[in-house]
Amino acid sequence: MIGWKFAFSRRWAGYLVLTIIFGAACAGLGMWQFARRNEALVEINKVDANYDHTPVSLTEALPTLDSFAESQKWLPVTMTGTYLIADELIVRNRPMNVHPGFEVLTPLLLADGTVFVVDRGWVPTGETADAPGPVPAAPSGEVTVIARLKAGEPTLPGRTASGNQIATIHLADVAERVGAPTYTGAYGLMASEDPAPATRPAGVTRPVADEGSHLSYAFQWMLFALLGFIGLGWAVRQEFRNLNADDPEERTRAEERARRIAARPRTDAEVEDDLIDSTH
């Protein structure tokens, strides 16, 4: 009887190493999916905690020009000032519901001389894809704005812009264009303005609370890792049976397995296969 000695050969050691590598890779992908789900849950919690919060004053939420914490994302802030319409900027490549378009940034000059950047909303492309259609004008004179906070964006290497268009909402660059002390920690997605104009760009809607399929994908990757070891065990067992087929004990077990298979009810698929075979 050969027994299990073959399982300690170099060949099977190699199979074991490959299975461990496969299992580790699957486990790593599963943990990555868990991390992605946690990130989604954090974003959902920010929306739940802040989106419908009672507006707070801008200076209370952001005591300095560079203040902002990620936990403040979507928090409504209120401020009063005058739009710097001449310094209005258009952000390129901003799709909404798969439609191409632009976002409209209008700096708001506050009473203390500082400037807060307000994203007044989205407008579609115009006759050409490189320019928007008509942009609804911001109200002139003093206006009270409620906007939801959002962090500024990084610069994008290789992305350039000209005129009043910008490629990304990098607040330090916007501050240079405005030429006045500007809030660079965060900008605001406009919720309302008073007095309200007759028309305004399309506003941002509440983000959908969707954590995605990360949890199910994570469990699938973990299952794949487990199946790798189960498959290795099955292969070892099959080789054991093949190598020890002449052993009386193994022959007895093989006959018992054959009897159990013969005694079980036949499936419809097996009956159909026999009928098909009989016709050939």
pLDDT along the chain (280 residues), means of 10: 79 93 96 94 93 95 95 96 95 89 95 96 86 88 96 82 85 92 96 92 87 93 95 90 76 71 68 63
Other residues' Cβ atoms within 10 Å of the Cβ of residue 216: 11
What pLDDT, on the 0 to 100 scale, is given for residue 65? 96
- Residue 212 has what DSSP assignment? T
Task: Give the C-alpha distances (Å, rounded to integers) separating 114 from 83, 119, 160.
Answer: 12, 17, 27
Task: Say what the pLDDT of residue 209 is.
Answer: 85
pTM for the full predicted model: 0.75
In 3D space, the residue among 205, 171, 179 whose CA is nearest the CA of residue 91 turns out to be: 171
Both tokens assigned to 94: 């901003």
- Report pLDDT for 246: 76
Closest by alpha carbon to 121, among 88, 161, 154? 88
- Judge contact between 235 and 12, C-beta under 8 A: no
pLDDT score of 260: 73
Alpha-carbon distance of 216 to 208, in angstroms, equals 19
Q: Counting beta carbons within 10 angstroms of the beta carbon of residue 44, is it exposed (0 to 12), middle (13 to 18) or buried (19 or more)?
A: middle
